[in-house]
Amino acid sequence: MYENWELVNSYFKNHNFAQMEIDSFNQFVEQKLPEIVEENKTIVPKIEEVKIELSNIEISKPTITEADGSPRTSFLPMEARIRNRTYAGRISLTMTLYRREVEQDVRKAYIGDLPIMLKSKLCWLNGKTPEELVEADEDPKDFGGYFIINGSEKALMTQEVLSSDRVLISEVPKGIAAEVISTRGAFKGRVRVVRHTDGMLYVTFPASPRKLKLFVLLKALGLVTQREIKDAFPEEKEIENDVLLNWQNTVAKTEEEALDRIGKYVAPGQVIDYRLRRAQEVIDAFLLPHIGQKKVDRLAKAYYLTMMATKATERYYGLRKEDDKDHYANKRLELSGKLMEHLFRYSFKYFVKDLRFQIDRTITRRRKLNIATIVRPGAISERIRFAMSTGNWIGRATGVSKFMDRVNYLSPLTDLKKVKSPLNKNRELYEARDVHGTHWGRLDPIETPDGPMCGLVKNLCLTAEVTTEAEEKPIEDFLHKQGVRLKKL
């Protein structure tokens, strides 16, 4: 009975409970911050002769600026607590100003402050021995994984969300729906293919026309002939019948006609050339952006839509089961690093918008244009500090940041292990609140609050670990080296 206790004791002795939060934050700083800068690399204001390019984002270890304006490094967490300051590092960005394609100014500009997680790679406490931690007035048993905002210790509550880029089949009043949340950067677009009870297939995506037939969209994406569309679907009798039914009931015959049907909705009353161009822009930008947002990606999007339609049709004929949204394979947990990524991306976009405004205003007033005068560091710092102080996050989420209870050793442990669902607490949602079989070994079936949040706020088990996001390309390259080849359609 006691033969495994030695292993359990060893796990708790050598394991930091906040390690997954720390790893998540480290990944945000090392990988995600440069990606966000790359997304907004070139800033072109209304005056087209001016351009700014951004590169090389750097975060310093926490520093403090005294009342007389002098900066000081080696700013320890205990000082931040006592003096009611924010434990944050300076964000620096290399900015290059071009005017008429000629380089005018290059500067490493200070653009704001980023709160630093305790015990992360950028924290002064990282790698210190228990004796050094005691010298720094810190508890050697403290596992970190939280922030200090205006002297208050704040933990970010893990958010439970539906998995992006995964097709889920469900029953809807009109028939069967295949749905995917397609994500690229800050943009999340819900794409739905519905197989109505009469056999017709319809598709909806952001900015799409109402009641858009799937086959019209497939033709707009480049699958024009009956043979091309038929080959994109599997050779099952039930599916072939649906394909023929939809083909006969699709009025648009050519790619141009199909694009024009979409164009008449997105650009009503415009000339045909503009309508066609607008339709193509909407398809590229808003339809399945995780596959790509260029013209060359249209065919891949068409095949992806046929896969969704196939799944919906198979479910209608009982050839496959409905997907369970409460199954934990269909969920993702957003840890501190992912939440900070959402917040920083929103703040950085506002900073870029403010930069454009400052450039336009400086040129309009005929003042000398240089980087020092157009950068406002508060644009980023204020938004991050406000969100972390109040807990009001991007996407209308509330209670994301919470004051950490430090009255005993176990209280902060429960704060770091809490998992919150975004579902509305005022609705019944019996299935979402219930214990699911896939919670076994991952979530505590007992530790949940009474009242309206019952089953929506959960706790991770002590030995449960959440992995960080992984890159797809190395896995694809490895599979290619092993001889795996894409099936040619």
Map residue 48 onto helix, strand or coil.
Answer: coil
Q: Is 427 exposed, middle or buried (0-12, 13-18, 19+ CB in 10 A)?
A: exposed
Are 249 and 181 contained in the same domain?
yes
436 domain-assigned: yes
Statement to judge: residues 297 and 179 lie in one domain:
yes
Residue 467 within a domain: no
Helix (H) or strand (E) holding 266: helix 255-266
Q: The tokens of 105 are what?
A: 């100014």
Q: Tell me, what CATH number does 376's domain have?
A: 3.90.1100.10
Q: What is the pTM of this model?
A: 0.89
Q: Are residues 379 and 454 in the same domain?
A: yes
- The b-or-e profile of 196-214 (16+ CB within 10 A means b, else e) is eeebbbbbbbeebbeebbb
Do the domain assignments include residue 150? yes
- Alpha-carbon distance of 146 to 403, in angstroms, equals 10
Low-confidence ranges of the chain (pLDDT < 50): 488-489
Whether 472 is in a domain gets the answer no
Residues 158, 442 contacting (CB under 8 angstroms): no
Is 179 in the same domain as 154? no
What per-residue confidence (pLDDT) applies to 489? Answer: 39
Other CB atoms within 10 Å distance of the CB of residue 123: 21
In this prediction, residue 21 carries a pLDDT of 93
Indicate if 293 and 346 belong to the same structural domain. Answer: no
Taken in order 325, 330, 335, 339, the sign of the CA dihedral is negative
- Are 99 and 50 in contact, with CB atoms under 8 Å apart? yes
354/374 Cα distance (integer angstroms):
9
Same domain as 291, residue 172: yes
| Strands 88-99 and 102-115, sheet pairing | antiparallel
Tokens of residue 189, six digits? 């677009």
Residue 264 sits in which domain range? 168-316
Residue 488: its pLDDT value, please? 44
Is the domain of 179 the same as that of 152?
no
- Check whether residue 34 and residue 131 sit in a common domain: yes
395, part of any domain = yes
pLDDT of residue 473: 84
CA 241 to chain centre: 39
Helix orientation angle between 272-286 and 255-266, rounded to the nearest 10 degrees: 90
The pLDDT, as a whole number, for residue 2 is 65
Work out how many domains the chain is built from and give that number.
2
Does residue 448 lie in a domain region? yes
Using the structure block, give the residue that is written with the tokens 């080849």: 485
186 and 211 share one domain: yes
CATH of the domain at 286: 3.90.1110.10
**End-of-domain residue from the set 316, 343, 377:** 316
The answer to the question of residue 344 being in a domain is: yes
- Domain presence at residue 245: yes
For residue 333, report the phi and psi dihedrals to the nearest 5 degrees. -105, 125
Convert the pLDDT of each residue in 389-430 to its tens digit. Answer: 998 998 788 889 999 888 888 888 888 899 999 888 888 888
What pLDDT is attached to residue 1?
A: 55
* Amino acid 348: pLDDT: 92
First-to-last alpha carbon distance for the chain, in angstroms, is: 57
User: Which of 316, 343, 371 is the C-terminal boundary of a domain?
Assistant: 316
Same domain, 293 and 361: no
Same-domain pairing of 297 and 245? yes
The answer to whether 346 and 394 have CB atoms below 8 angstroms apart is yes
Q: Are residues 149 and 201 in the same domain?
A: no
Angle, helix 336-364 to helix 19-27, in steps of 10 degrees: 30
Of 251, 285, 316, which one is at a domain's C-terminal end? 316
